[in-house]
Amino acid sequence: MSREEAEKLASTLNYRHEDSTVIAVLQDINTKEVLMVGHMNREAVVKTLTTGYAHFWSLSRRKLWLKGETSGNFQIVEDVRIDCDSDAIVLKVKSVGPVCHTGNWSCFYRGYSDFIK
Amino acid sequence: MSREEAEKLASTLNYRHEDSTVIAVLQDINTKEVLMVGHMNREAVVKTLTTGYAHFWSLSRRKLWLKGETSGNFQIVEDVRIDCDSDAIVLKVKSVGPVCHTGNWSCFYRGYSDFIK
């Protein structure tokens, strides 16, 4: 997407969450599995749309990060969906490797049976 | 799920988002479509798990709400997944009607072509 188009889309979002962000849900475009949830500020949205690689705003480290910059497991964005009040987006992605730092394909690898024993 | 089990699971979550909440992603258990994103405080998590109906904490109205309490479009929770740092959950649901207040099945009914004209 061109910079102009990315800026246009980024301008329509409502960055009302922590540190002026929207919530971003990564979904595997093939399996439709939810892979992770993160936050994006305006800069992360523009970088994601112009490069095609998912970028996030880290709430804990308070910095922009390219998902995969250390692990190599980049998230290639194939489609973007925006919710009704423009404060959350779904990124449909192809992942080049596991999304989770634990090595699991998805961060949501635990079910309630893992907690109720 | 019993109250005891619900409290046990609720105790493992990290309510680090706005108003002491976790992020909750509703996903259609059949189509795997992402339906909406909301926030849950501890009370909303316990009510969701004990009743089987999705409850949220409204950041704008600052109150607990049962999804569907006015529209009748309740979200019946079939499965729960928890992410690696315990601050986000995925609820796999059967919806008895459209999730979005606009009448769309999903809140994520807009794509980037709706913004880039």
- DSSP letter for each residue of B17-64: BTTTBEEEEEEETTT--EEEEEEE-HHHHHHHHHHSB-EEEETTTTEE
Across A19-25, average pLDDT: 98
> Do the beta carbons of residue A43 and residue A66 sit within 8 Å?
no
Domain chopping of chain B, boundaries: 3-114
| Residue of chain B with shortest Cα separation from A5 | B116
Across A30-54, average pLDDT: 98
Q: What does the pLDDT look like over B22-71, one tens digit per residue?
A: 999 999 999 999 999 999 999 999 999 999 999 999 999 999 999 999 99
SS (H, E, C) A12-54: HCCCCECCCEEEEEEEECCCCCEEEEEEECHHHHHHHHHHCEC
Q: Length of chain A in residues, anyone?
A: 117
Residues belonging to chain A with any Cβ–Cβ distance to chain B shorter than 8 Å: 1, 5, 8-9, 12, 17-18, 23, 25, 27, 32-34, 36-37, 49, 79-85, 88-90, 100-102, 104, 107-112, 114-116
pLDDT at A116 over 80: no
Confidence band of A106 (pLDDT split at 50, 70, 90): very high
CATH C-level class of B3-114: alpha beta
CA A107 from chain centre, in angstroms, equals 12
Whole-prediction pTM value? 0.96
